[in-house]
Chain A
Amino acid sequence: MNCLEFRRELNIHPQSNDADFVAHARACPRCAQAQADALAFEATLGRALAIPPPSNLAESILLAQATQQRRERRRWASGAGWLTLAAAAVLAVGVGWRVTRAQPLGDAAIAHMLGAEAPALAMTAPIAAGDVRKAFAKRGVDLAQVPADISYVQCCPVGKFKSVHMVMPRATGPVTVMYLVDDKGGARADFAHAGWIGRSVPMAHGTLVMIGHDASQFAQIEQEWQSTLQASTHI
């Protein structure tokens, strides 16, 4: 490492413990002085940024949470009668195992999609293939290749299943794609909930779930993931 490289690293990672970095500081008195100045600046910067939070911050958050919870419980109680009727109606339809199994999975997947990660639906910029690989690796899948145009990836639980949650923007709107790595018991099925339509497809060692507003996009996405996951290693 030369002086120029040291100064660059110093402005990026002032507290670096990299062996070359430390060795250069030991060998070059001018860079060692620059490092001492930089560390002093970091200490001042850290102190200046440490704005004290309001003294009752934690209590006010916990109070807001308790209030919200009570409000939700009250709302839930008043809606429970209607929910019981609705549940009875769904059971009365009795469309067979395929639908009854797909619907809870679909409901859980759609509820998850519309939860805290809902803003991901608006993401359109493609993310690095490496991030997708990393997410699948966390779930024990070493991807052979990465399909193009993925704008979001996150490892999340969907109901009781471990999933890789992705968004694939299409011209007609975003398609949420979730690969449930440990769901081997499903059958191919379509579902709908809260104005969204979806499809679950058994794939490799798990199930691929696609959710969007335009089902015509599902076939191509399914094909891409089918060939990707077939060629991938499942640990």
Chain B
Amino acid sequence: MATDGSKSVVSSKQRQFDALVRGLSGDLYRYAYWLCGEDALAHDLVQETFLRAWRSLDSLRDTASAKAWLITILRREHARLYERKTPQFADVDDVDIADERETHTPESVGEDGLIRAAMQRLDAKYREPLLMQVLGGFSCEEIARELNITPAAVMTQVFRARQKLKGMLAGDVKEAQLS
């Protein structure tokens, strides 16, 4: 009986882990990509995040907070990595948009490319809270807790992030029109 019980505990943990991986690995990958700027590194970061998550899965009690929990682990992994090396963003021309060509018009691909380039140029201080809001869907209070800053500072940073991004895009469009 004991064996059956432990077996079912293990399999339910495994099922929970599978569901997390299948449900959230894509979101985590996008977040990791914009954090580190390299697709291979983003893949490694997400994998390491989930391996750590597996080891401490018992501490996850509230499934609604799973994404925030995983992002916390991912940010720590990235910080550890960042201590060892400074990741370089790929040149905007190298950003792979091949998978989207079938679903987006040439105009929108061009617009997306400009936004991606602008995001890469955006200071990490502004980029990260904006990513957490737009990609993660987190509130300013949740972002503040994660980044260990005040909600007012988060509001200022997402405000400035959008302003800077729009400013850069306006400049890029003008440059594109002149060339």
**Is B163 among interface residues, defined by CB-CB distance under 8 A?**
yes
Residues of B within 8 A of A117 (CB): 56
B30 and A11 contacting across the interface, CB-CB below 8 Å:
no
Closest chain A CB from B92 CB (angstroms): 12
Q: How far is the CA of A61 from the CA of B14 in the complex (A)?
A: 13
Interface SS of chain A: helix, strand, loop or mixed?
A: helix
Complexed CA–CA distance, A51 and B33 (Å): 8
CB nearest to A67 among chain B residues = B51
State whether A157 touches B58 (Cβ < 8 A).
yes
**Across the two chains, which residue of chain B brings its CB closest to A46?**
B134
Given A42-B134, A52-B100, A157-B59, A65–B54 Cβ distance below 8 Å? yes
Category for how many chain B residues contact A: 35 or more
What count of chain A residues pass the 8 Å CB interface test? Answer: 38
* Contact (A12, B18) CB under 8 Å given A49-B134, A61-B46, A157-B61: no
Q: Which residues of B lie under 8 Å from residue A131 when comparing CB positions?
A: 145
CA distance A41 to B25 in the complex (A): 26
Cβ-defined contact, B51 with A68, below 8 A: yes
Q: Contacting A65 at CB < 8 Å: which of B17, B30, B108, B134?
A: B17
Tell me if A45 counts as interface (CB < 8 A to partner B): yes
Q: How far is the CA of A53 from the CA of B93 in the complex (A)?
A: 18
State in angstroms the CA–CA spacing of A48 and B43 once bound together. Answer: 19
Docked complex Cα distance between A44 and B116 (Å): 11
Most buried by B among A54, A115, A117: A54
Q: How far is the CB of B99 from chain A (nearest CB, A)?
A: 4
CB-nearest residue of chain B to A125: B148
Contact A51 B166 (CB under 8 A): no
Residues of A within 8 A of B51 (CB): 61, 64-65, 68
A127 nearest CB across to chain B (Å):
7
Min C-beta distance of B130 to chain A, whole Å = 8
Q: How far is the CA of A64 from the CA of B50 in the complex (A)?
A: 9
Closest approach, in angstroms, between the C-beta of A1 and any C-beta of chain B? 15
B80 near A60 with CB under 8 A, answer no
Q: Which residue of B lies closest to A153 (CB)?
A: B145
Contact across chains for B112 and A48 when beta carbons are under 8 A apart: yes
- Please give the residue numbers on chain A whose beta carbons come within 8 Å of chain B beta carbons, in ascending order: 8, 11-13, 41-42, 44-54, 57-58, 60-62, 64-65, 68-69, 112, 115-117, 119, 123, 125, 127-128, 131, 156-157
Q: Report 17 cross-chain contacts, Cβ distance below 8 Å, ordered by A residue.
A: A42-B134, A44-B108, A47-B112, A48-B111, A48-B116, A49-B134, A49-B135, A51-B39, A54-B29, A57-B46, A64-B51, A65-B17, A69-B54, A115-B55, A115-B59, A116-B55, A116-B73
